Amino acid sequence: MKRRLRRLVVAILVSGLLTACSAGAGSAPQPTSTSTAGEDSSLVIGFSAEPANLDFTRTDGAAIPEALLVNVYEGLVKLDQSTGEIVPLLAESWTVSEDRRTYEFTLREGVRFSNGAEFTAEDVKFSIERVKSDAWTISLKKGMDVVESVEVLSPTKVRVVLSKPSNSWLFAMTTRIGAMFSRTGVDDLANKPVGTGPYVLKSWRRGDSIVLERNENYWGEPPAIKTVTLRYFKDPTAMTNALLSGAIDVVGTLQAPEALDQFTDDDRFQVIEGTTNGEVTLAFNNESGPTSDIRVRKAIKHAIDHQALLDTAWAGRGFLIGSHVPPTDPWYEDLTGLYPYDPKRAKDLLAEAGHEKLRLRFRIANLPYAVAAAQVVAAQLAEVGITAEIEPLEFPARWLDEVFTKADYDMSIVAHVEPRDISTFGNPEYYWRYDNKEVRDLLAQADAGTDEEQVTAMKRVARTIAEDAAADWLFLLPNLIVAKKDVTGLPKNRIGEAFDLTTLGRS
């Protein structure tokens, strides 16, 4: 598995990921589906994490952009899932000044929001400035801090000036903070999303499903599937059974990898196995409690047999990483050898810290991968004298409130799927409460430097947080999708926040 994913990663990098921060031009890629299912085609996709609401401007977590970004909301640019390249979307082209501080975007004409309002440069200015205001509260909004001004040049031209050169800003515009909003459509984002995308919200049954319907007034190529239902399952077995019984057409992210074999040799289904940037992270509270002691954090890392954990918790499917960098990022470096499995060393460090017998509050997201991994972690920590008291918290609402916002925990587990979010280790207020000036300075150098300087500085960031045991990275989630044979256009890799529905079809 590991060798297979390494080959996949190399292919992605060769195909253009290293150019992801350069200027672009041309037309947005169109759906590749050859579906002949007709005007009334439909698709039901199973997921595990349901949004708490539909407002990703004020609610953290990946479930909302997974459903709405690219599908309902669009940005000026987006991330091509097959290459990792930044490609045009609502901007048909853009230029970058020689000093790398000024971006001028030319917008597509004839674009309208789902509420009927015309999309213009005024909406771009409104959307970017709104991220910088108190209207946005999520942690990722910091990606827009570098914007100094936004100037409307004409209805289809807008100039964005940065306070300093930034390698990360255009990439950040592919995420939720780059979503374009209607000036007349932000009154009830939690319930009524208004975007320019190929789908609109038809209905939402909390605790069950979200139904998206094709936007008949969409500016671009209409998606092949008219109605897409996103169904949410707390039990991974129930989701796989729903596929077997025909209640759903696709398992969007398989949460029971041990069940994969039953589909592999069944000619009714197709199995897709690729990679993601979802780091399953064992988070430590670096500010308070026993894990504020680096010796305790190092002991925990030495006490975990990561390969055994991957084999037991996720059927050996995934990729071992040693820092908060997936192999699809240009600054990836294999750091898995920094803390080899060494229970004796773990016990010595705990004794040195005065914690031969230690109890930790292990408050995790109640998601299948987190629960499975937590059970293995707890068992391995028990071998060195640490009692990890597992407390699953309802995700997203309770986990976001108590762990993410209040940092009321010693250890936690959740997958970080936001692309290139290693920058969170430069924010002392982020939930792992990691405070290191050297890391903050390196992140700033990386953002303002040349491509080569960026890679060098980011590698140092990754190594520093790994050596500091700021967290432990259990494994990288694979992209495991199981679907009926006639579903086309499913993504091989998931390297962004959105589950892009625009490529899907039925043969």
Distance CA 132, CA 245 (A): 47
Q: How far apart are the first and last CA of the chain?
A: 30
Write down the pLDDT at residue 83: 79
CATH fold of 276-477, please? Dipeptide-binding Protein; domain 3 (3.10.105)
Residues of the chain with pLDDT > 70, as a percent, come to 92
**pLDDT tens digits for range 98-129:** 999 999 999 999 999 999 999 999 999 999 99
Task: Please tell me the distance from the alpha carbon of residue 261 to that of residue 249, in angstroms, as a whole number.
Answer: 18
> pLDDT digit string (tens) for 295-330?
999 999 999 999 999 999 999 999 999 999 999 999
pLDDT band at 33 (very low <50, low <70, confident <90, very high): very low
- The whole-number pLDDT of residue 98 equals 96
Side-chain half-sphere of 51: how many Cα atoms within 13 Å?
A: 24
**Cβ within 8 Å of residue 182, ≥6 positions away:** 113, 115, 117, 119, 123, 194, 195
Residue 188 or 35, more confident: 188
Q: How many CA atoms lie within 13 A of 416 on its CB side?
A: 27
Minimum mean pLDDT range among 129-138, 182-191, 253-262, 399-408: 253-262
Confidence of residue 84 (pLDDT cuts 50, 70, 90): confident
Q: Phi and psi for 242 in degrees, rounded to 5? A: -65, -35
Helical ranges in 59-110 per DSSP H: 63-68
Q: Would you give the DSSP letter of residue 505?
A: E
Measured CA to CA in angstroms, residue 469 lies from 279, 285, 295, 399, 451 at distances of 15, 11, 9, 22, 27
Of 78, 76, 68, the C-alpha closest to 189 is: 68
What was the pLDDT predicted at 21? 34
Token duo for residue 444? 């700033």
Residue with tokens 């959307």: 127
Task: State both tokens at 399.
Answer: 């986990």
Asked if residues 355 and 290 have their Cβ atoms less than 8 Å apart, the reply is yes
Q: What is the three-state SS of 221-290? A: CCCCCCEEEEEECCCHHHHHHHHHHCCCCEECCCCCHHHCHHHHCCCCEEEEEEEEEEEEEEEECCCCCH
pLDDT (average), residues 169-185: 97
- Asked if residue 55 lies in contact with residue 189, where contact means CB atoms within 8 angstroms, the answer is yes
pLDDT > 90: what percent of the chain? Answer: 84
Q: What global pTM score does this model have?
A: 0.85
Query: Environment class of residue 377 by beta-carbon count within 10 Å: exposed (0-12), middle (13-18) or buried (19+)?
Result: buried
- The CATH code that applies to domain 79-178 is 3.90.76.10
The number of C-alpha atoms within 13 Å of 226 and in the hemisphere containing its C-beta is 8
CB–CB of 81/496 below 8 Å? yes
Q: Quickly state the pLDDT bin for 141 (edges 50, 70, 90).
A: very high
Kindly report, residue by residue over 35-50, the tens digit of the pLDDT. Answer: 344 567 999 999 999 9
Mean pLDDT of 433-443: 98
- pLDDT above 80: residue 16: no
Q: Which residue has the tokens 């169904």?
A: 231
**212: which strand partners?**
201, 228
CB atoms within 10 A of CB 311: 15
Task: Indicate the average pLDDT of the chain.
Answer: 91
Q: Give the H/E segment covering residue 399.
A: helix 397-399
Give residue-wise pLDDT tens across range 210-256: 999 999 999 999 999 999 999 999 999 999 999 999 999 999 989 88
Q: pLDDT for 450-468, tens place per residue? A: 999 999 999 999 999 999 9
